[in-house]
């Protein structure tokens, strides 16, 4: 089956620093990747949609200058949280679209990255 990895699985950083999270599709090419944020005991909220080779499309209320997304290849998308603050502490999950004919459940999720900003 399609496998999506994320690195790191958890990270602790100091306020004001930047953190990069990687999302990789291991055995397929993903033309589209999605980035979600999940606060404790809450649902997943879409942050942005990332298409390979083009600029990401951000959801309303998500600061594009703070959450930099780069989808440089068909197997890798990165999310960089710049000048992180404690309120950015959250669980970040990526998903990748599998372009397989006849497969309706095209999005496969990574295992998530837990970010804690101190």
Partner 1 sequence: AQKITQTQPGMFVQEKEAVTLDCTYDTSDPSYGLFWYKQPSSGEMIFLIYQGSYDQQNATEGRYSLNFQKARKSANLVISASQLGDSAMYFCAMREGNNAGNMLTFGGGTRLMVKP
Among 3, 26, 72, 99, binds partner 1 (CB under 8 A): 99
42 binds partner 1 (CB under 8 A): yes
State the first-to-last Cα distance of the chain, in angstroms, to the nearest integer: 37
β-pairing verdict for 113-117 and 10-13: parallel
CB of 43 to partner 1, least distance (A): 5
96 binds partner 1 (CB under 8 A): no
Please say whether the beta carbons of 109 and 97 come within 8 A.
no
Nearer to partner 1, 72 or 99 (CB): 99
Supply the DSSP symbol for 87: G
* Listed ranges 17-25, 46-54, 62-70, 72-80: which one lies at the site for partner 1 (CB under 8 A): 46-54
HEC letters along 16-28: CCCEEEEEEECCC
Binding map of partner 1 across residues 52-81, x = CB under 8 A, - = no contact: ------------------------------
Distances in Å between the Cα of 10 and the Cα atoms of 2, 19, 51, 94 are: 22, 11, 25, 14
Contact footprint for partner 1 (CB under 8 A): 31-32, 34, 42-46, 49, 51, 91, 93, 95, 97, 99, 104-112, 114
């Amino acid at each position: 089956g399609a496998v999506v990895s994320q690195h790191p699985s958890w990270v602790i950083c100091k306020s004001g620093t930047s953190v990069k999270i990687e999302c990789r599709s291991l055995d397929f090419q993903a033309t589209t990747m999605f980035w979600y944020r999940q606060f404790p005991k809450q649902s997943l909220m879409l942050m942005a949609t990332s298409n390979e080779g083009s600029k990401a499309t951000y959801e309303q209320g998500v600061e594009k200058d703070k959450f930099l997304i780069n989808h440089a290849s068909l197997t890798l998308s990165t999310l960089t949280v710049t000048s992180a603050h404690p309120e950015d502490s959250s669980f970040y999950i990526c998903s990748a679209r599998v372009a397989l004919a006849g497969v309706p459940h095209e999005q496969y999720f990574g295992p998530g990255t837990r970010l804690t900003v101190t």
